[in-house]
């Protein structure tokens, strides 16, 4: 009788022990994640940045783990920009705590040194990161119905879907691969020299290699990209797909910024029907008369021949050139 009763007790005892073990493990992981959040904030503050989190609330026990960060504010040590939001949730894979997902639960305000502000909102805005032995393995951002609004500027930028992923490039030390995909973009205002292309971009996809990416973690007052630019940092476009107005192409290129922070680089874009593209560019209000006439004649020649073209767009010494023709001067990017 005692043996029979023991067999009834043992399973329940094991269940209780397993439950207590899970409670201990869940709280251990939660404590560890909170410790990492506070440790990151401490390191940032020690380096001159300002990180403030009003409150951290735990959710999800026993199956999930979600840390609700309330009143998040971050001011960079250099570059003069700051980010703040009322709430962000940190979701942790309980069985793999190195995999972290951050979800914005309120609009995000990004303020810059010149006083301008960009407000970011979305139906869903999620960032994820997975590390391997303390080093970044992969990170990504995904947004649905993303809106970027600068109250001081005309219009807002809207995209129905944006996905971006970054990871170390296994082919070269110090370089990172960036995959970007934006669908159904609405631009806030016309792009100078391409006004006739319109405001609607059906799709923009790119496979980019960021060279000297480690320098992006550095910045100087008023020049957040200064160390990267001065260190020879460039972007290499292994592929870029663009469907915008008359332009449908998949090309390659490379680019960066010159010493005056102007665009410097080249895009090579194969185009099956070049005449509508050249005509649209020539009709831009900021194209000078000589370039307008030359582009118009070039477009007419392709209407007659029906040939395709590999369009060469270059930016050098502060001048935008299309097929070697000077179109306009380029201002500093920031």
The tens digit of pLDDT for each residue in 262-320 reads 999 999 999 988 899 889 888 888 777 888 888 888 888 888 787 888 889 999 999 99
- DSSP-based three-state secondary structure for 153: coil
Convert the pLDDT of each residue in 72-87 to its tens digit. Answer: 999 987 767 899 999 9
Q: Which pTM was predicted?
A: 0.80
Is the torsion defined by CA of 182, 186, 189, 194 positive or negative? positive
Convert the pLDDT of each residue in 34-60 to its tens digit. Answer: 998 999 899 889 888 899 999 999 998
Which residues 6+ apart lie within 8 Å of 315 measured at CB? 255, 262, 263, 264, 265, 266, 321, 330
As a whole number of angstroms, the distance between CA 180 and CA 252 comes to: 14
More confident residue, 236 or 334: 236
Do residues 201 and 187 make contact, with C-beta atoms less than 8 angstroms apart?
yes
Beta bridge partners of 252: 268
* pLDDT at residue 3 in the model: 54
Alpha-carbon distances of 110 from 37, 83, 122, 210, 296, rounded to whole Å = 21, 5, 15, 23, 42
Which of 14-28, 129-143, 150-164 shows the lowest per-residue confidence on average (mean pLDDT)? 14-28
Do residues 279 and 189 make contact, with C-beta atoms less than 8 angstroms apart?
no
C-alpha angle with apex 288: 286 to 290, nearest 5 degrees? 155
């Amino acid at each position: 009788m005692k043996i029979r009763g023991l067999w009834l007790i043992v399973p329940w005892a094991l269940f209780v022990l397993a439950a207590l073990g899970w409670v201990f493990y869940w709280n251990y992981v939660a404590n560890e994640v909170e410790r990492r959040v506070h440790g990151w904030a401490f390191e940032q503050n020690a380096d001159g940045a300002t990180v403030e989190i009003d409150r951290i609330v735990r959710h999800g026990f026993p199956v999930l783990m979600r840390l609700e960060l309330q009143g998040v504010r971050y001011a960079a040590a250099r570059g003069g920009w700051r980010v703040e939001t009322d709430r962000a949730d940190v979701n942790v894979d309980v069985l793999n705590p190195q995999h972290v997902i951050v979800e914005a639960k309120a609009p995000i305000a990004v303020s810059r040194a010149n006083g301008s502000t960009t407000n970011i909102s979305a139906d869903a805005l999620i960032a994820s990161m997975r590390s391997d032995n303390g080093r970044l393995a992969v990170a990504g951002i995904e947004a649905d119905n993303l809106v970027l609004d600068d109250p001081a500027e005309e219009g807002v930028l809207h995209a129905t879907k944006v996905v971006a992923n970054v990871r170390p490039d296994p082919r070269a030390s110090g370089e990172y691969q960036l995959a970007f995909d934006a669908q159904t973009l609405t631009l806030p205002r016309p792009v100078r020299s391409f006004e006739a292309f319109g405001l609607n971009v059906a799709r923009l996809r790119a496979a980019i290699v960021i060279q000297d990416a480690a320098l992006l973690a550095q910045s100087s007052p008023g020049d957040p990209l200064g160390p990267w630019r001065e260190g020879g940092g460039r972007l290499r476009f292994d592929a870029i797909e663009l469907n915008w107005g008359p332009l449908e192409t998949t090309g390659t290129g490379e680019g960066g910024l010159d010493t005056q922070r102007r665009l410097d680089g080249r895009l090579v874009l194969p185009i099956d029907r070049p005449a509508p593209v050249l005509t649209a560019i020539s009709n831009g209000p900021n194209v000078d008369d000589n370039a307008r006439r030359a582009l118009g004649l070039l477009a007419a020649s392709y209407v007659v021949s029906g040939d395709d073209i590999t369009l060469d767009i270059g930016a050098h010494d502060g001048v935008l050139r299309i097929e070697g023709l000077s179109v306009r001067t380029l201002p500093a990017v920031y």
